[in-house]
Amino acid sequence: MKKTKFLAFAFLAAMFASCSNDNVPVDENKDTPLTIASAGVAELTTRAIIEGQLIGRKEEPIAMSVWVEGSGDNYNAKNIEWINNGGNWYTNNTVLYAGENKQKIYALYPYREGATEDGKIAINATEQVDYLIATQSLIDENPIHLTMRHAFAKLSLMPTFGTEAGGLEIVSIEVKNMYASGTLNIKENTWTYPGEATATLAMTNHEVLVIPMEKCESFPIVITMNDGRVFKATISLAAVENELKFNSQYNIRLQIGQDKVFVGDITAAPWVADNGGNLETE
């Protein structure tokens, strides 16, 4: 009799366990290769992007560095190259999907072989390469949709000429007291830089990319005109909280007269094309 009761209880326990397992959600994508569906950029377009998608620079492969953190070798990736071919992303390194919210991912565009395993990279600002990053986030689905933003800040000079300055043209613009180089932590989107901000960067088409600074009250600029004259001015950042933020464009208004430069207002805005459209690759 006792044996019969024990078997009955065992049967009921197995039945309840079966019912309980039926209610546990199963992620059918677990242990399938991770795939990237898109690498878009929020609220902006850039020389490296058309219609929110990365398109690459001229004569360069459309590729980015990707890091994946998970438990176990099959669920990790350290600076592996993902390449876009006809709108689809692929990699020669298989990384498996561990399940919802069990892995983290971050990325850098363009691909840099020299980036470290822990997601840090030395950057020279004088190269003026427009880096885009996706900071660390949980992987909650497979395929993955990455949101990328500019690692640099952009300074954009918007000059006008007084009526007395007819025939004058700007030959060059130098921005001083910037950082020449720094180390970008892609995972956390933080910068470290050696020494003081003493470098001079040259604007191209009235624009220059600069390493972000949490504290920057002002910086000098030097404008050389086509008649050989040199104008100097100091740009105050008080109106934009005395800092240069990543993923931001700073529009600086100047009026150039016959003998003087008048500094206007400076505003910060999301980094977009001036006409709101798409820009060509470099």
Which stretches of the chain score pLDDT less than 50?
2-12, 15-16, 42-50, 273-282
Strand partners, 133: 108, 149
- Only one residue has tokens 């990328």, namely 148
> Domain count of the chain?
2
Of 83, 118, 150, the position where a domain reaches its end is: 150
Q: What is the CATH number of the domain that holds 248?
A: 2.60.40.2630
Residues 171, 142 within the same domain: no
Residues 95, 135 within the same domain: yes
Give the pLDDT score at 144. Answer: 95
Locate 83 and state its tokens: 């390449």
The answer as to whether 2 is a domain residue is: no
Residues 265, 185 within the same domain: yes
Instruction: Using the CB atoms, write b or e for 47-70: b if 16+ within 10 Å.
Output: ebbbebebbbeeeeebbbbbbbbb
Q: What is the CATH number of the domain that holds 128?
A: 2.60.40.2620
Give the pLDDT score at 30. Answer: 93
Q: What is the DSSP letter of 204?
A: B
The answer as to whether 5 is a domain residue is: no
Burial of 107 (0-12, 13-18, 19+ CB in 10 A): buried
**16, containing H or E segment:** helix 2-22
Give the pLDDT score at 58. Answer: 56
Give the pLDDT score at 47. Answer: 45
Residues 77, 128 within the same domain: yes
Residue numbers of the domain that contains 135: 36-150
Give the pLDDT score at 87. Answer: 76
Of 131, 150, 169, the position where a domain reaches its end is: 150
Residues 142, 194 within the same domain: no
Residues 178, 69 within the same domain: no
> Which tens digits make up the pLDDT trace of 145-204?
998 889 999 999 999 988 777 788 999 999 999 999 999 999 999 999 988 999 999 999
Give the pLDDT score at 177. Answer: 98
CA 236 – CA 239 distance, rounded (Å): 8
Of 150, 175, 210, the position where a domain reaches its end is: 150
The answer as to whether 18 is a domain residue is: no
Residues 71, 115 within the same domain: yes
Angle at the Cα of 44 from the Cα atoms of 40 and 49, rounded to 5 degrees = 55
Strand partners, 219: 235
Residues 146, 68 within the same domain: yes
Single-letter residue type at 82: W
